[in-house]
Structure 1
Amino acid sequence: MTQAQKSRIHAVDIMSLPALPEVLFRILDACEADNRNMQEIAALVRQDAALAARVLALSTSPAFGLAQNDRKLTLEQTLMLLGINALRTLALTAAVYQFMDQSLGAHRQRHENFWQEALLTATLASKLADLSGYPSVHEAYLGGLISNIGQIGMLVTEPELYDDLLDQAGTDTSELVTREKTLFGLDHASLGGKMLSRSGRRGPLTDAVRFHHASVDELTEAHHLVRLVAVANRLGCDASIAPAAGLVAADRILGLIPSLLNDLHASAVKQTRETARAFGIETSSRPQKQERADGSQTSASKSEHELARRLGDMNILSAARKQLEGSEQIDDLLASADLANHLIFGMNRIGYFLVDDQAQSAQGQAPTNSALTQFWSEFRVALPSTHSLVGATLTNGTTESIQPWQEPEADNAQPSVLDLELLDLLHTAGFFSIPLCAQGQIVGSMIVGVNADDALRITQRHRLLEWFAGELAQEILGLNRRNKALAEALREQAEDQRLKARSVVHETNNPLSIIQNYLGILGRHIDEGHTDVADDLRIINEEIGRVGTIVRSLTETGDVNEDRKQIDLNALVKDVIQLLRPTLITPAGIGLELHLDDSLPPIEASHRRVKQILVNLIKNAAEALDRGQIITVSTSDYVYLGQQAYVALDVGDNGPGMPPQILASLFKPVATLKGGSHAGLGLSITKKLVDELHGTITCRSSHSQGTHFQVLIPRRLLNA
């Protein structure tokens, strides 16, 4: 044997090991099923050494965040962490490689025998674990299952050489190990351990594979799992009777007497043969080469042909998936589905029923370019319903059919009037009603019109048709969710605009009231002969400008930075007080006290927003107070919240306070104690303005101490 051949043996990778085709296509089916069950998938993975080894190798990938030596996870838990997509990809990749590697067909019987021996060893290991008190039976099963993956690696890499070597060694395991070392430079146990180590797997499971052919003397002090797998291998090398070597090893390294093991061995053999029969595999004691009439070995088995067909179906399904992607309207999606149905199945008489959850019904629908469009939308099925075959599909998620060319079964439901009407509309003798199911939800049904000459083709491709229906259902579900999200976004946008319009109306009332009051003051000043009215006119002009700014905000997206400038907060407070005292404070008989921090520096902020906040808070307080009560306005520097420095603006009063139920929703646009025409928007607008300044606002209120608002504005200095 050349050095290059030896190097290939030493470098064989777990991910290249072939799995049994029967197991592969069942796993692919389970992964595609809408009601997929991870326990069922795990049970299938447990039936194949190569697949189990692949899962163990994949679980050590950093992409899944599992520790290399994490032995606490069961196979089900490992598969859950890997996810259904990773498992589907793993099985599909294995299937593609096996389909491409035609050499596997020549050694089909050898692979089946390896598979049976692995199952028997795994079953024995789990039973021995239970009998000897090993705490993790599932780990013992996995150890037994993958213990001989090195043999699969050798057969895959050098099929002809290793096949001959197995024939020469016969049933003598010691002879087999000796010949492997001579030919390849290592035995299959060492190769299996090497493959697991290279994939990142460490610990007793890897040791159980590496040392399962060690001598009994060497194993007496080994890890419990290593001893279990070694005994299971010795017992599993003969399916007809428990081998003497296995009985001796069990006694010496596990302390299990032979009388306990004969029944255990017989039970494990029976269980293995039942599993093999379930997969349609004939059991045999030793591998036999299959010969063609011309003397050459046979190629692919029936299962391999089935696997090839499944791969073809998946390629078709992938193309169909691309055909369905990207539709933004349900009509476009159904048109794409019609085209895909025509291309894949040759079916062009198709209609749909789509479920409307809110109406608890399903309505008929066909694409606008379909000949069925005219009448299809006039059909509606109330749900749940089993009066018709279509209703049964929509309610139970089952495929129903009318096939008059077949002998009717006794328990078959009779077509309803609706079913017969649909037949007439489809212009076919029969139909299949196929559920559109995705993520455990029935979103509709696909009604495929068929005639007798279509039936065989549809029956042969029924599974693919159901898969296609699942893909269509997934797209419908996604489209429904996108449309729902869009409708919700539009509703929120409309609500935002409505609230903004209400806010503008509310906020313009403040400057308009001030303008109205100052026009009255201006009139009195003129009547009294005052010649200096410039200050009154300035205030009126400023408030007119503020009205314009507020109205423009209805159609413009405000930028908090657009009017940011250096403001003197104390001066701004005095201006607002001067503005409100003659128009609001004095007429109401309310007192006003100022406590301003003279050390407060000018800060960088939006003058308009800060002014509006202050006006809202003072106006809100004034409207809640009785004559003689007092509003207090104060400022202070260096208020810290966390690591952030703020300046504080406080507006308090000694009024009646607010009840807890009002405080709980104080800044929402509904809470108000004012009654009358007040919209309850003032404080919600104030909160929004504070947020735009990246500040915070708090409120405390009680019947005995009145109400106190504190606004914290970031302490940003213009040139800091």
Structure 2
Amino acid sequence: MSLNSNAPSQADRLPFASHPGVLARLLAELGGADSVSKEASRLFMLDPALALLALEAIANAYPGIQLADLQIEQQIASLDPVTLKCLIISTAAEQLAAPVASLEELETTWRQSLATAHFTRALAEQSAYRGLDEAWLAGLLCWLPRFARHTGGDIDVARACAQSNLDRLGLDTFLPDILRYANEPAHRLRDAAPLLRLALAAYRQTMNYPAWIPALPHPDTLLLAAPIDRDNIRDIYLNMGRSIDTLAAEIGHKPSGEIARELSRMGRLELIAGGRQNDPVAGVNTLADSLASQEGLGHALYLRLNPLGGALEGLAIGGRPQPPIVIQPEGSTTAAAWALLTRSPVVVTLDTAGDASVLDLQLIRQANAEGIAAIPIGATPPIGVLLVRGSRHALSHIAANPQHYTRLGELAGRNIPAAVPAETGNSTTSRDQFTARVRRAAHEINNPLGIIKNYLVIMKAKLGDDAPVADELRIMHEELDRSVRIIRGLTQDETAASSIKEVTDINALIEDLVKVTSPSWQEKGAWIEVKLEPGLPKLACDRDKLKQIVLNLLLNALEASPLGGMVKLETGSLINHRQERMVEIIVSDSGPGIPVELVNHLFSPVESEKGDGHAGLGLSIVKSLTEALEGRITFKTGASGTTFQISLPAN
């Protein structure tokens, strides 16, 4: 097809489509932010259209910079957040104005672009090419023409549009040549710059992803990426597939409507973040007004944590009277106390009145409402909780989107000064009594634990190291040590009680936990299938946190599985999209799957219907502990069961 002289300028203005899930996540990440987070930088690198926007912003800030020398995610994080917000809002608005015709086709093409990016970076690492992030982008942008919109299906117009955008970047890189020479015969590319050879070798190997037979490498790949062999290609391809599946599960297949919702939420986040500086609780008041006017959640009460007495105390905001409420979080089952403890919104409705505290029920009925939500305010002291009341339908939005409302609460408390309240004799006495009570309890609990440990040592000495129960005695001893560490942490502040890293054999840890829990699953008639990959690298991490993660997931899986059901525990390793080695822990149950209404807020703490004081905090804790270990958790669920996947950095 020949283009007339006006075609390039028309093509320049053609927007590119972004994956709705990545774009929605990025809107959520940038909303209200005063800097570009590591997560936001990562998201820019997972979508061709968004990566192009990031490169344009880098080129404007640092014209002529050599791309191969950059750690591009760090470079994105250094950019002006306002600039990136404007670019992302504009992209979202364009995509809402003219939605993508086929989300299924977009999803397939997005996966193909990730495959080429992963493969290019893997080839670059094997060939010692220094620009690993540049290589990733080169592979990703091979697919940029397929993301061009309003082309009428004309691939020549789409390619011209993409080529024009890459050519005008003004960066020191061969990156634009990936499209210019995309169809060039392989023998003519043998002497080309390494970036071009590696990207096109990867592109030709992955252009039909996922339909590919590992035993049949593309001949152009063998030529352009020499001296690579068939085994190398197969290994890269298999690792690539697992990495993409993990990313796709994390991002999710979101409809375009999710972009509109996140754009609206971003507007609210920006509104809350821009609260009046001269009013210390302006952000809290703005949040309360926003929830009342936009979501029908009114009757707001603001409770602020008194650092001296340790109680949540009512505070007047926005002309509202000071509520006559004081809550001691220690031992409290109120929604406010749970929100303060977990730093995540908690929703209580009259449907779970049996598990709700009396105070929550009183506040619900006082407002003639159907439920109450507690939103934690502030990320650092002074912290507090905002209580709002309304219908079940309105409250369901908070339960379904806990991360958004957590972020709103953090921003609302950002400008609150850390004023020191008047130190009265009563508040000082209350705090001192609380501290003394905790220390006394810790001391008293440590005494019987120490006695039990001593008897375990005596038993082991009498039975000998070869006794059939020697391993069980060792596990009991380790668990007692862990209990002591937890109790000791209660008497320290958060900065003093830092994590202790130790070299951990994840396979051995899992085998121990299977032994510890055997009475639970054997009594139920269940059985556990353990499949541990040999030779896994040992992790330098907080062993107690890792043990708590696996134990929670294992107990949840046993609880979800029917009588005589099966639970699978697996470990493995993969290379992620950054070519970092990750260790995987996979826990699968044979239960009925997670109900649809719970999927979107699976990791938020909610009132459980199990009774017996069960607070529904297990998965919320698992997620926070996983993130503390710099890992990620994903899940998939269906009628045949649920699978959780934990990915942790091996180094």
Indicate the TM-score class for this superposition, using the shorter chain for normalisation.
0.5 to 0.7
Q: Is the 8 A contact 2:28 2:262 kept in 1?
A: no
DSSP-derived class of the 2:388 partner: strand
Residue pairs, 1:146-185, within 5 angstroms: 146-153=141-148, 156-162=149-155, 180=156
CA 1:111–1:237 in 2, change beyond 3 Å: closer, same or farther? Answer: same
C-alpha displacement of 1:472: 6.2
Q: Deviations over 1:646-693 (max 9, x none)?
A: xxxxxxxxxxxxxxxxxxxxxxxxxxxxxxxxxxxxxxxxxxxxxxxx
CA 1:336–1:245 in 2, change beyond 3 Å: closer, same or farther? Answer: closer
Query: In the alignment, which of 252, 257, 273 is matched to residue 229 of structure 2?
Result: 257
DSSP-derived class of the 2:415 partner: helix
Query: In the alignment, which of 120, 124, 131 is matched to residue 126 of structure 2?
Result: 131
Tell me the amino acid that sits aligned with residue 52 of structure 2. A
Q: Is the 8 A contact 1:125 1:228 kept in 2?
A: yes
C-alpha displacement of 1:339: 3.6
Answer 1 or 2: which has greater helix percent.
1
Q: Is the 8 A contact 2:347 2:371 kept in 1?
A: yes
C-alpha displacement of 1:448: 1.2
The structure having more radius of gyration, on CA atoms, is 1
Task: Indicate the residue corresponding to 1:112 in structure 2.
Answer: 107
Give me the TM-score of the superposition, normalised by structure 1: 0.51
1:247 aligned onto 2:219: yes
Tell me the amino acid that sits aligned with residue 305 of structure 1. G
CA 1:340–1:72 in 2, change beyond 3 Å: closer, same or farther? Answer: same
Task: Indicate the residue corresponding to 1:443 in structure 2.
Answer: 383
Q: Over the residues paired in the alignment, what is the CA RMSD in angstroms?
A: 3.8
Q: Deviations over 1:362-402 (max 9, x none)?
A: 321244744xx36x1x3334567755432232243222232
C-alpha displacement of 1:434: 1.0
C-alpha displacement of 1:460: 2.7
Give me the TM-score of the superposition, normalised by structure 2: 0.56
Q: Is the 8 A contact 1:232 1:246 kept in 2?
A: no
Count of residues in correspondence between the two structures: 417
Tell me the amino acid that sits aligned with residue 443 of structure 1. I
C-alpha displacement of 1:258: 2.9
Task: Indicate the residue corresponding to 1:312 in structure 2.
Answer: 264
Task: Indicate the residue corresponding to 1:3 in structure 2.
Answer: 4
2: CA distance between counterparts of 1:446 and 1:382?
A: 16
Q: Is the 8 A contact 1:124 1:265 kept in 2?
A: yes
Task: Indicate the residue corresponding to 1:49 in structure 2.
Answer: 48
1:455 aligned onto 2:396: no
Q: Deviations over 1:566-594 (max 9, x none)?
A: xxxxxxxxxxxxxxxxxxxxxxxxxxxxx
CA 1:395–1:35 in 2, change beyond 3 Å: closer, same or farther? Answer: farther
CA 1:391–1:10 in 2, change beyond 3 Å: closer, same or farther? Answer: closer
Residue pairs, 1:550-565, within 5 angstroms: none
Tell me the amino acid that sits aligned with residue 399 of structure 1. P
CA 1:331–1:61 in 2, change beyond 3 Å: closer, same or farther? Answer: closer
Task: Indicate the residue corresponding to 1:569 in structure 2.
Answer: none
Residue pairs, 1:14-93, within 5 angstroms: 16-32=15-31, 38-62=37-61, 65=62, 68-93=65-90
Task: Indicate the residue corresponding to 1:650 in structure 2.
Answer: none
| Percent of aligned pairs with the same amino acid | 18
CA 1:445–1:67 in 2, change beyond 3 Å: closer, same or farther? Answer: farther
Task: Indicate the residue corresponding to 1:537 in structure 2.
Answer: none
Structure 1: state its 5+ residue gaps: 163-179, 282-301, 409-413, 485-720
2: CA distance between counterparts of 1:415 and 1:258?
A: 61
CA 1:82–1:241 in 2, change beyond 3 Å: closer, same or farther? Answer: same
1:363 aligned onto 2:313: yes
Q: Is the 8 A contact 1:45 1:51 kept in 2?
A: yes
CA 1:354–1:89 in 2, change beyond 3 Å: closer, same or farther? Answer: farther
1:345 aligned onto 2:295: yes
2: CA distance between counterparts of 1:327 and 1:106?
A: 45
DSSP-derived class of the 2:378 partner: strand
Where relative contact order (Cα < 8 A, 6+ residues apart) is larger, the structure is 2
C-alpha displacement of 1:228: 0.6
Residue pairs, 1:620-699, within 5 angstroms: none
C-alpha displacement of 1:68: 2.4
Q: Is the 8 A contact 1:197 1:206 kept in 2?
A: yes
DSSP-derived class of the 2:52 partner: helix
DSSP-derived class of the 2:255 partner: helix
2: CA distance between counterparts of 1:110 and 1:331?
A: 47
Query: In the alignment, which of 290, 303, 308 is matched to residue 255 of structure 2?
Result: 303
1:220 aligned onto 2:221: no
2: CA distance between counterparts of 1:368 and 1:314?
A: 23
1:94 aligned onto 2:91: yes
C-alpha displacement of 1:312: 3.5
Q: Is the 8 A contact 2:281 2:415 kept in 1?
A: no
CA 1:70–1:234 in 2, change beyond 3 Å: closer, same or farther? Answer: closer
Residue pairs, 1:298-697, within 5 angstroms: 303-315=255-267, 321=272, 325-326=275-276, 328-329=278-279, 337-357=287-307, 360-367=310-317, 369-370=319-320, 373=321, 376=323, 378-381=324-327, 388-406=334-352, 414-416=355-357, 418-419=359-360, 422-423=363-364, 426=367, 428=369, 430-438=371-379, 440-441=380-381, 443-450=383-390, 454-460=391-397, 467=404, 470-471=407-408, 474-480=411-417
Tell me the amino acid that sits aligned with residue 123 of structure 2. L
1:206 aligned onto 2:176: yes
C-alpha displacement of 1:209: 4.4
1: CA distance between counterparts of 2:404 and 2:238?
A: 42
DSSP-derived class of the 2:125 partner: helix
C-alpha displacement of 1:95: 0.9
Q: Is the 8 A contact 2:350 2:371 kept in 1?
A: yes
DSSP-derived class of the 1:342 partner: helix
Q: Is the 8 A contact 1:12 1:195 kept in 2?
A: no
Tell me the amino acid that sits aligned with residue 46 of structure 1. M
